[in-house]
Amino acid sequence: MKRVLIAAGMAFAMFQATANAAVDEEWAKSGAKEHGCLNCHAIDKKKMGPAWQDVGAKYNGKTAADLAASIKGKPIHAKPTKDMPAKEVEQMAEWILTLAK
């Protein structure tokens, strides 16, 4: 019985680890499109704003919360983030940090 519990606990821990690590990429991409982020940004090249794959390098060692605060703090983002709950901006930031080359 004890063994079964340990196995179940491990499976749960593994499930949690995967759930935390993976930001839903499809969700993030469609959100970036929907909120107009992609009018000014691309993942792999500079447009009006920086290429998102370069942002990760700048935020090396920092958290998604740091990046989310920066995104929300920029006046140019007032409009695109207006309808986004804080949590959504943070998840988007987390995804952007996974794009680093």
Measured CA to CA, the distance from residue 56 to residue 44 in angstroms comes to 12
Please select the residue that binds ligand HEC; options are 27, 58, 65, 86, rule is CB under 6 A.
58
| Per CB under 6 A, 68 contacts ligand HEC | no
| Per CB under 6 A, 7 contacts ligand HEC | no
| Per CB under 6 A, 77 contacts ligand HEC | yes
- Please give the torsion angle defined by the CA atoms of residues 34, 90, 48 and 62, in that order, rounded to the nearest 10 degrees: -160
| Per CB under 6 A, 94 contacts ligand HEC | no
Applying CB under 6 A, the span of 6-14, 16-24, 77-85 interacting with ligand HEC comes to 77-85
Cβ neighbours, 10 Å, residue 19 = 8
Please choose, from the candidates 85, 88, 95, the residue with its C-alpha nearest in 3D space to the C-alpha of residue 52. 95
| Per CB under 6 A, 70 contacts ligand HEC | yes
